[in-house]
Amino acid sequence: MRVENQMFCYQCQETVGCKGCTVVGVCGKQPDVAAMQDLLIYVSKGLSAVTTALRKEGKSISAEINHLVTFNLFTTITNANFDRESIRSRIRLTLDAKKGLLSRLSSTEGLPQAALWDGSGDWEEKARSVGVLSTANEDIRSLRELITYGLKGLSAYSKHANTLLEDDEELDAFLQRALAATLDDSLSVEDLVALTLETGKFGVASMALLDRANTSAYGNPEITRVKIGVGKNPGILVSGHDLRDLEMLLEQTQGTGVDVYTHSEMLPAHSYPAFKKYPNFVGNYGSAWWKQREEFEAFRGPILMTTNCIVPPKDSYKDRLYTTGTTGYPGCKYIPGEIGQRKDFSVIIEHAKRCPPPEEIESGEIICGFAHAQVFALADKIVDAVKSGAIKKFVVMGGCDGRAKSREYYTEFAKALPKDVVILTAGCAKYRYNKLSLGEINGIPRVLDAGQCNDSYSLAVIALKFKEIFGLEDVNDLPIVYNIAWYEQKAVIVLLALLSLGIKNIHLGPTLPAFLSPNVTKVLVEKFKIAGIGTVEEDMDLFFKERSE
């Protein structure tokens, strides 16, 4: 099916008109890059159909192939890679890998066209015929994209675990089976709904895998006060999510006179015990990803983007922006390194030495480190506060931040919360309220920050533990409200993971996803009571109406 749009993408919350980007992405993605991302997804689905067929024949798939698929999907997440040529190289690599795997199959009968395409012909023309709108039925398209976006988020978490040498063959096999299933025209809406929930189940598994990888390598996060001012040395700013990249950079900057700062989703790294031994790991600079054009300019030193959340850089600092892993931007230096390899960060360290210290944009401290192990250590204190009535409710306000003015809702919502309500958060949504003076309840901070978006797993584990402690039969009977902000595909897998755990009444904002068709939305509303957000006043009344009765 040929479409007339220059591109079509609606995988993020800020997509144009909450319908779809058709000329250029709100993220800055150009049509030629969007086309190559569509084609990379297509060949990854084809490769996955082959690996799934091989597994059915009892044949093994190597870790390298598994990593190839997760890397490909992570590359296409919003704001990760804007470099057309690097994406084309991934397509070639995938086609070559698929060719080798096809030769191992006893029969290619029944394989979809994506599994058999050899890369011949015009790639741009091919991309136009296999993109999102190539599925004509709106509901089938909606569910296929919901599954694909969930798998993109799952792949991100799986890839981070792989980087720390943790693998899960069952998880990889599911990811590839589900990806291949989005090519299967025989699957009904009911089949795809079931696969969506299964994706959520494996989303929980992916976050558990990453949690185990992170805590095994770096220890359990602990309550930590993080400085948000600056020192007198030149610095390197690390953004994204990859803790292994941060570790290698910290090791290589020892004794160089260069300080290291975290940005946005890298903030929770300060709460891991293993990173506290580095004297030049000095603090966090700035806030959420979308403010980086101003904050990166003010930082004055080099910036390392380890994962998605790149905003097209200003010329004033473009030469200071370095990418690695799945990230890429034309004209910015890329630091290579495969899983298990030691990356060489000498070029960015030498660059930092030539730069002035960062400009101070704020001062003070913020507190983090409330992942599940730390919260369990405080369980008696929290339970006593709940039983005494000092804490009446918890509000899960995890997820993503973004540019839309409507996201000011989350700051105002946090300010308006009754003083006996505690916020549980994870992800960069926290920057809407983690610097507010919201105080404490019996020594318990009113903002408990579990960490990165993947640490939403901690929030689910905490909820399930409290269900057990309070002797409840249903997790939905806990005094917890879910008011979650979303932006991109990692938030999608978090949502599906929560649904798979039976959590209902989740409010999602600032808008519902554009890729949910009316019928699919209806299913989610009826089965899980998913809803959007209203005004702060309306939602205060909705969530805490018993106070006014």
Chain centre to alpha carbon of residue 502: 21
Name the strand (E) or helix (H) holding 261.
strand 259-262
Answer whether 251's CB lies under 8 Å from 275's CB: no
CA pair distance 460, 355, nearest whole angstrom: 43
Q: Is there a cis peptide before residue 418, judged by omega within 30 degrees of 0?
A: no
Secondary structure class of 382 (helix, strand, coil): helix
The label of the residue with tokens 């602990």 reads 222
Q: How many helices (H) and strands (E) does the chain have?
A: 18, 15
Q: Sign of the C-alpha dihedral, residues 219, 369, 262, 226? A: negative
Single-letter amino acid code for the residue at 449: D
Name the strand (E) or helix (H) holding 236.
strand 235-239
CA pair distance 503, 222, nearest whole angstrom: 27
CA pair distance 520, 470, nearest whole angstrom: 34
Answer whether 166's CB lies under 8 Å from 209's CB: yes
Phi, psi angles (nearest 5°) of residue 119: 95, 0
For 265, the token pair is 């989703």
For 239, the token pair is 């953004």
CA pair distance 54, 172, nearest whole angstrom: 13
CA pair distance 144, 51, nearest whole angstrom: 19
105: left (phi over 0), alpha (psi -120 to 50) or beta: beta
Phi, psi angles (nearest 5°) of residue 261: -120, 150
pLDDT (tens digit, 0 to 9) for every residue of the chain, 549 residues total? 444 789 999 999 999 999 999 999 999 999 999 999 999 999 999 999 999 999 999 999 999 999 999 999 999 999 999 999 999 999 999 999 999 999 999 999 999 999 999 999 999 999 999 999 999 999 999 999 999 999 999 999 999 999 999 999 999 999 999 999 999 999 999 999 999 999 999 999 999 999 999 999 999 999 999 999 999 999 999 999 999 999 999 999 999 999 999 999 999 999 999 999 999 999 999 999 999 999 999 999 999 999 999 999 999 999 999 999 999 999 999 999 999 999 999 999 999 999 999 999 999 999 999 999 999 999 999 999 999 999 999 999 999 999 999 999 999 999 999 999 999 999 999 999 999 999 999 999 999 999 999 999 999 999 999 999 999 999 999 999 999 999 999 999 999 999 999 999 999 999 999 999 999 999 999 999 999 999 999 999 999 986 444
Phi, psi angles (nearest 5°) of residue 471: 65, 35
Answer whether 536's CB lies under 8 Å from 527's CB: no
Q: Give the number of other CB atoms < 10 A from CB of residue 92.
A: 11
* 371, 372, 376, 378: CA torsion to nearest 10: 20
CA pair distance 502, 468, nearest whole angstrom: 15
- Show the DSSP H helices in 57-137 as ranges: 63-75, 84-102, 113-116, 123-130
Answer whether 197's CB lies under 8 Å from 497's CB: no
Residue 546: its pLDDT value, please?
Answer: 62
Which residues are within 8 A (CB) of 339 and not within 5 positions of it... i.e. 6 or more apart?
Answer: 67, 162, 163, 165
Which residues are within 8 A (CB) of 103 and not within 5 positions of it... i.e. 6 or more apart?
Answer: none
Which residues are within 8 A (CB) of 17 and not within 5 positions of it... i.e. 6 or more apart?
Answer: none
What is the chain's percent helix, strand, coil content, to nearest 5? 50, 10, 40
Strand partners, 323: 305, 334
CA pair distance 60, 79, nearest whole angstrom: 34
Cα 357-363-369 angle, rounded to 5 deg: 105
Answer whether 249's CB lies under 8 Å from 345's CB: yes
DSSP string, 272-336: SGGGGG-TTEEEE-S-SGGGHHHHHHHH-S-EEE-SS------TTTGGGEEEETT-B-TTSEEE-
- Give, rounded to a whole angstrom, the gap between the first and last alpha carbons of the chain: 57
Residue 547: its pLDDT value, please?
Answer: 47
Answer whether 325's CB lies under 8 Å from 245's CB: yes
CA atoms within 13 A on the CB side of 477: 10
